[in-house]
Amino acid sequence: MKIAVLHSGDANPESTRPDEYETVQTCEDIEASLAKLGHDPVRVRFYDDLGRSEEALKAQAPDLVFNMVETANGTDRLSYIGPALLEMLGIPYTGCPAAAIAMASSKTKMKKFMQAAGVPTPAYFNGVGSGTGGPWIVKSSTEHASMGIDVSNIVQTADEAAGIVKRLCADGSHWFAERFIDGGGEYNVYMLSDESGHGLQVLGTSELTFTNQPEGKPKIYDYAAKWHFESQDYDAIGRNYDVPAGLRGLMEGYAARVWDGLGLRGAARLDFRVDADGVPYVIDINLNPCMSTGCIFAEAAERVGVTYDDIIRRLVKSAADH
């Protein structure tokens, strides 16, 4: 098949955020795998001008699109526009449906879904109502990749959190305060369409480990830890796959419930923090996780015998079958 790898982001690392540039770099790995699998990959840039994007796609006339659109108009909040355009054009695409991506573009809307589905998620407020007790962490409702998060976002009282939310929302952006869950670690559950293309395989669960951090620093996976590759924060992060069976089963059960409830396909990652009593809470969901050869998703898959090329093949099959 002729497969267009549709991506957002600029190929110039000097003019784009590290997380956006990573998307462009990942395209090379995907294209190499697609070629190995016998497909004809072609790269297509996604533009904020949808008419221009439509023209670029029609010029290539792909059989299928590998969706790597992470941002639109400079924000993660509109990333669903890419797959929505593909649906309008009748072109099958990899990954989760546009409707699910649109819901996930608002963390507070996604939290409401979790609550309705019986999946535990921390208490929150976003200026409508307030919270009590603490501590709290202030997060962007619309930006992903830990954008805007560092230790200064963690405060002890609801009043402090409300003040930060009000200040950050003054420019029209969207922020909220979430109860900061601590004491039991942070975990990721990795999900992939199974061999049939219609079901789910949970690839595994890993715990984030924090080593060589300054004493007293909260153990959070913030923007620096993800994207400042030369920093101590980045070097401090590791992964432990030896997660207790009971806790792992509980989190993976919640992951399957979310997958089915949102009608997901392709690949996704669910992020948890666990409190001192061992209770897991969903803190985020990523419906278009990193797909580079060296990413954590690929590492988790390899541990259960699923190669990088297997991941790409399954993503293509899931898209073609829908």
Kindly state whether residues 139 and 203 are assigned to the same domain.
no
Kindly state whether residues 187 and 289 are assigned to the same domain.
yes
Domain membership of residue 235 (yes or no) is: yes
The residue among 286, 281, 289, 288 whose CA lies nearest residue 114 is 281
Which CATH number does the domain housing residue 29 bear?
Answer: 3.40.50
Indicate if the pLDDT at residue 228 is higher than 50.
no
Indicate if the pLDDT at residue 131 is higher than 90.
no
Kindly state whether residues 131 and 62 are assigned to the same domain.
no
Residues β-bridged to residue 186: 273
Domain membership of residue 79 (yes or no) is: yes
The residue among 95, 315, 302 whose CA lies nearest residue 197 is 315
Lookup: tokens for 233? 């924060």
Indicate if the pLDDT at residue 24 is higher than 80.
no
Indicate if the pLDDT at residue 157 is higher than 60.
yes
Choose one of 138, 157, 179: the last residue of a domain. Answer: 179
The residue among 311, 285, 303, 300 whose CA lies nearest residue 32 is 311
Size of the chain in residues = 322
pLDDT in tens, 281-299: 999 999 999 999 999 999 9
Give pTM, 2 decimals: 0.90
Domain membership of residue 83 (yes or no) is: yes
Kindly state whether residues 37 and 144 are assigned to the same domain.
no
Indicate if the pLDDT at residue 240 is higher than 70.
yes
Domain membership of residue 104 (yes or no) is: no
Average pLDDT over residues 26-37: 97
Number of independent structural domains in the chain:
3
Kindly state whether residues 17 and 132 are assigned to the same domain.
no
Looking at residue 168, what is its pLDDT?
A: 87
Instruction: Give the β-pairing of 280-286 and 64-68.
Output: unpaired
Domain membership of residue 301 (yes or no) is: yes
Kindly state whether residues 133 and 217 are assigned to the same domain.
no
Indicate if the pLDDT at residue 32 is higher than 70.
yes
Kindly state whether residues 270 and 195 are assigned to the same domain.
yes
Looking at residue 13, what is its pLDDT?
A: 53
Kindly state whether residues 173 and 200 are assigned to the same domain.
no
Looking at residue 226, what is its pLDDT?
A: 55
- Whether residue 320 contacts residue 44, with contact meaning beta carbons closer than 8 Å, is answered with no
Indicate if the pLDDT at residue 14 is higher than 90.
no
- Greatest mean pLDDT among 33-47, 170-184, 208-222, 232-246 lies in 33-47
Domain membership of residue 118 (yes or no) is: no
Average pLDDT over residues 199-225: 79
Lookup: tokens for 194? 């199974």
Kindly state whether residues 199 and 295 are assigned to the same domain.
yes
Q: How far apart are CA 286 and CA 104, in angstroms?
A: 8
CA atoms 226, 231, 233, 239: torsion sign: positive
Confidence of residue 233 (pLDDT cuts 50, 70, 90): low
Domain membership of residue 103 (yes or no) is: no
Kindly state whether residues 197 and 311 are assigned to the same domain.
yes
Kindly state whether residues 171 and 62 are assigned to the same domain.
no
Confidence of residue 10 (pLDDT cuts 50, 70, 90): low
Average pLDDT over residues 261-288: 97
In percent, how much of the chain has pLDDT > 90? 66
Structural domain boundaries enclosing 169: 123-179
Query: HEC string of the chain?
Result: CEEEEEECCCCCHHHCCHHHHHHHHHHHHHHHHHHHCCCEEEEEECCCCHHHHHHHHHHHCCCEEEEECCCECCEHHHCCHHHHHHHHHCCCECCCCHHHHHHHCCHHHHHHHHHHCCCCCCCEECCCCCCCCCCEEEEECCCCCCCCCCHHHEECCHHHHHHHHHHHHHHCCCEEEEECCCEEEEEEEEEEECCCCCCEEEEEEEEEEECCCCCCCCCCCCHHHHHCCCCHHHHCEEEECCCCHHHHHHHHHHHHHHHHHHCCCCEEEEEEEEECCCCEEEEEEECCCCCCCCCHHHHHHHHCCCCHHHHHHHHHHHHHCC
Kindly state whether residues 144 and 158 are assigned to the same domain.
yes
